[in-house]
């Protein structure tokens, strides 16, 4: 139990999207550390019919210049619904600590209300720097602040990466057929579209929202490469294993600051050879050129992919070394233990989570007892 059993934590995050399991992984890790946990959604599960109606409404409002106003109205309605839901959950559960896994907007009045009720409020920014102004604005309303970006480390903000190993989800599948030369997973962006265009000469497999709906006619090669809108769990692990190399392309530009995606651990853990866009912070976890492959431009991406597809022994060595390193990365339990130590010491960072010894065991994915 490690001395944390007296605390009751309300963990606020995205518990709806199965392709983004971080909130569940952190809540489960806290439970394994002896914390009583309530999971609270900061997202709304919208029926497809409601999504369709909103889309049609915005399309009809666009010719009259009212699309932006209507979109903002929908956003405000969603925020009000989420805020009412979170207030009710807090009042019923009465936690000692509220951990808000941030990547979206949370009303400062709500954060302050929780503090006024006697709870310690912790904010952990886990997204890129695009909307971090929301987090910086709300910093005074948190008792403790954590951020995945090393360059944001300053008095009052602790550096805590979200990248962690989950052996129960990702593992090598030696008998999985290699259906693709190159595999990519991620939402469509213009930047990613331009990078992947350089790889259409190979057997390319894409999974992610937006790749079919937005550029179906202009990018037939990319459209035909799309395998699914989303994959998660064992299906995602199999998809990683079905590619000779897996490419990771950040949503942000490397010059915008530090930060790494969760795929930096997930892909090597699956046993695949990862070819990742460089960003500050990669070297903390992997050795580029030995345990993963990095690139910084479309030309470099094509060059790296061509080399490792043509040289199987080198590709397999990178994949094996990357998997061995991934198995020594901190677990989600290590990350949450580090956070708990900061809470326990009143804001002083005790130590960085150590590398873990390589293991072959799996971690059972626990659902918190008080999930709602």
As its CATH architecture, domain 180-326 has: 3-Layer(aba) Sandwich (3.40)
Q: Look up the pTM and report it.
A: 0.82
Q: What gap in Å lies between CA 217 and CA 292, rounded to an integer?
A: 34
Two domains, one topology: 8-164+331-344 and 180-326? yes
Q: Is the pLDDT of residue 271 over 90?
A: yes
Q: What is the CATH number of domain 8-164+331-344?
A: 3.40.50.2000
pLDDT digits (tens, 9 = 90+) for 283-300: 888 999 999 999 999 999
pLDDT in tens, 75-96: 677 878 889 999 999 999 999 9
211-240 pLDDT, tens digit per residue, is: 887 555 667 888 899 999 999 999 999 999
Residues 6+ apart with CB under 8 A from 203: 179, 180, 181, 182
The phi and psi torsions of 211 (rounded to 5 degrees) equal -75, -30
Cα angle: 290, vertex 291, 293; to 5 degrees:
75
Q: What are phi and psi of 158, to 5 degrees?
A: -95, 140
What digits encode the pLDDT tens for the residues 312-367? 999 999 999 999 999 999 999 999 999 999 998 876 544 343 344 333 323 323 33
pLDDT in tens, 182-201: 999 999 998 999 999 999 99
* pLDDT score recorded for residue 353: 39
* Extents of the domains making up the chain: 8-164+331-344, 180-326
């Amino acid at each position: 139990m490690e001395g944390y059993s007296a605390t009751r934590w309300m963990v606020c995050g995205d518990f709806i999207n199965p392709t983004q399991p971080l909130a569940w992984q952190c809540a489960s890790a806290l439970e394994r550390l002896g914390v009583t946990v309530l999971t609270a959604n900061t997202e709304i599960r919208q029926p497809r019919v409601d999504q369709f109606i909103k889309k049609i409404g915005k399309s009809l409002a666009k010719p009259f210049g009212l699309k932006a106003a209507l979109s903002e109205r929908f956003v405000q309605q969603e925020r009000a619904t989420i805020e009412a839901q979170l207030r009710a959950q807090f009042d019923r559960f009465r936690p000692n600590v509220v951990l808000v896994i941030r990547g979206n907007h949370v009303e400062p009045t709500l954060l302050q209300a929780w503090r006024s009720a006697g709870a310690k409020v912790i904010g952990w920014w886990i997204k890129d720097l695009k909307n971090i102004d929301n987090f910086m604005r709300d910093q005074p309303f948190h008792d403790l602040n954590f951020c995945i970006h090393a360059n944001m480390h300053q008095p009052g903000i602790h550096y805590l990466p979200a990248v962690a190993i989950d052996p129960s989800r990702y593992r090598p599948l030696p008998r999985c057929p290699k259906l693709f030369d190159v595999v990519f997973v991620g939402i469509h962006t213009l930047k990613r579209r331009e990078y992947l265009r350089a790889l259409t000469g190979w057997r390319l497999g894409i999974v992610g929202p937006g790749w079919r709906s937005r550029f179906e006619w202009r990018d037939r090669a990319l459209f035909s490469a799309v395998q699914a809108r989303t994959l998660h769990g064992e299906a995602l692990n199999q998809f990683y294993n079905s590619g000779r190399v897996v490419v990771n392309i950040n949503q942000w530009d490397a010059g915008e600051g530090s930060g790494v995606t969760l795929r930096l651990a997930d892909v090597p853990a699956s046993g695949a050879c990862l070819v990742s866009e460089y960003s500050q912070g990669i070297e903390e976890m992997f050795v580029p050129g030995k345990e993963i492959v990095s690139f910084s431009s479309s030309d470099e991406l094509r060059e790296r992919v061509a080399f490792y597809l043509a040289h199987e022994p080198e590709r397999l060595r990178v994949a094996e070394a990357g998997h061995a390193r991934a198995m020594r990365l901190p677990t989600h339990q290590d990350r949450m233990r580090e956070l708990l130590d900061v809470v326990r010491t009143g804001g002083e960072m005790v130590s960085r989570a150590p590398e873990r010894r390589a293991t072959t065991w799996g971690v059972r994915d626990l659902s918190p007892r008080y999930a709602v």
